[in-house]
């Protein structure tokens, strides 16, 4: 659906050039809700603006449905952009126009006739839950309602792709949740591919099917959301995940004897994914290997409806049996194990 090849963006500066994007390669499949997350200054805004050529890339290709947007002339690009709807962080509504007129604006530019415009506006306002606000002005609406108008406007030309630039960062958590529900509903009902830029891992967790992590202009990690949450590889990804799922060993456990004196036992962290979250692994360890297991910390969450749990356990007893138990855990499907042996590893790694 969308293929990005070696995308680069360099901004000229008075003292030196700024390389915002450093050769990004990504693929987004049809119907996906694809998230791109990164810290401030990572290049997220440059990426989304290059994606629909509001910013001209310095190098690279942006291919949508087999068409290379970077190779189009001005007229061809204007037509191609109709396939790319966009919603913004600050809504960007026309305050002098009513809700209906804001939604109608792209259709007017496309020279649609009045009847077509009226029918389409009514359909879209019904879709976003604002059928009763057609004659209101943006200043009369809440932030969430304004963003719904922005979504309706972005859908006016029946795009194949919806680009979301920090679409919920100006909203409170409850309103954010309702907007994400709306985007998910649009994705399912209309089959629109959604590319979502955010700095909020909660947004990625709630709605996205795949995610790419951007750092200093480069994609450092990409994959299914469940995999990124349960086994992040890069430090920047781990930091984002820990904002949602606390995977650090609590401070009060740092002085455990099994960390300072590993000959007395082992301190381990177990991550459970999917059905394994409900399996009696700890009791099986105690029964099968004749060791003691003291649960020190536990947490269970859900990611895309899939259970994900974390346990920190102190194992004591015969060390050979403990090592055999740990080897057995390593062989379990959908279970990830880490042995905590010193202070350098107490911040959990996946």
What tens-digit pLDDT sequence spans the chain (350 residues)? 899 999 999 999 888 899 999 999 999 999 999 999 999 889 999 999 999 899 999 999 999 999 999 999 999 998 898 899 999 888 999 999 999 999 999 999 988 999 999 999 999 999 999 999 999 999 999 999 999 999 999 999 999 999 999 999 889 999 999 999 999 999 999 999 999 999 999 999 999 999 999 999 999 999 999 888 878 889 899 888 878 776 555 566 655 545 555 566 788 888 877 766 567 778 888 888 889 888 887 878 778 778 888 888 888 888 889 889 888 888 877 777 878 765 444 433 33
Q: In whole angstroms, what is the distance from residue 26 CA to residue 50 CA?
A: 13
**CATH topology agreement for domains 2-244 and 251-345:** no
Residue count of the chain: 350
Domain range summary for the chain, segments of one domain joined by +: 2-244, 251-345
pLDDT at 281: 76
The CA-based dihedral angle spanning residues 325, 328, 332, 337, taken in that order and rounded to the nearest 10 degrees: 50
- β-strand 18-28 against 292-303: which pairing, if any? unpaired
The CATH code belonging to domain 251-345 is: 3.30.70.260
pLDDT at 216: 94
pLDDT at 277: 59
The CATH code belonging to domain 2-244 is: 3.40.50.300
């Amino acid at each position: 659906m969308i293929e990005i090849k070696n995308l680069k963006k360099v901004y000229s500066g008075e003292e030196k050039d700024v390389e915002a994007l450093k050769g990004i390669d990504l693929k987004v499949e049809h119907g996906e809700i694809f998230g791109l997350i990164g810290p401030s200054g990572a290049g997220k805004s440059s990426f989304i603006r290059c994606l629909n050529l509001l910013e001209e890339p310095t190098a690279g290709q942006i291919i949508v449905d087999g068409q290379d947007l970077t190779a189009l002339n001005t007229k061809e690009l204007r037509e191609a952009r109709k396939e790319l709807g966009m919603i913004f962080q600050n809504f960007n509504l026309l305050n002098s126009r009513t809700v209906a007129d804001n939604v109608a604006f792209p259709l007017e530019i496309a020279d649609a006739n009045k009847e077509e415009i009226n029918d389409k506006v009514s359909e879209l306002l019904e879709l976003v839950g604002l059928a009763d606000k057609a004659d209101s002005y943006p200043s009369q609406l809440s932030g969430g309602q304004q963003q719904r108008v922005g979504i309706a406007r972005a859908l006016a030309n029946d795009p194949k792709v919806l680009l979301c630039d920090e679409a919920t960062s100006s909203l409170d958590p409850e309103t954010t949740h309702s907007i994400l529900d709306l985007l998910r509903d649009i994705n399912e009902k209309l089959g629109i591919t959604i590319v979502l830029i955010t700095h909020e891992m909660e947004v990625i967790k709630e709605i996205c099917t795949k995610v790419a992590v951007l750092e200093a202009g480069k994609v450092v990690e990409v994959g299914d959301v469940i995999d990124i949450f349960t086994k992040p590889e890069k430090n920047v990804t781990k930091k984002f995940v820990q904002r949602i799922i606390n995977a650090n060993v609590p401070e009060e456990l740092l002085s455990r004897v099994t960390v300072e004196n590993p000959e007395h036992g082992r301190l381990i962290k177990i991550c459970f994914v999917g059905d394994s979250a409900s399996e009696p692994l700890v009791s099986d360890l105690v029964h099968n290997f004749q060791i003691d297991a003291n649960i020190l910390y536990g947490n269970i969450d859900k990611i895309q409806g899939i259970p994900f749990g974390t346990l920190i356990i102190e194992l004591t007893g015969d060390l050979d049996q403990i090592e055999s138990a740990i080897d057995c855990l390593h062989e379990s499907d959908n279970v990830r194990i880490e042995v905590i042996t010193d202070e350098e590893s107490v911040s959990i790694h996946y």
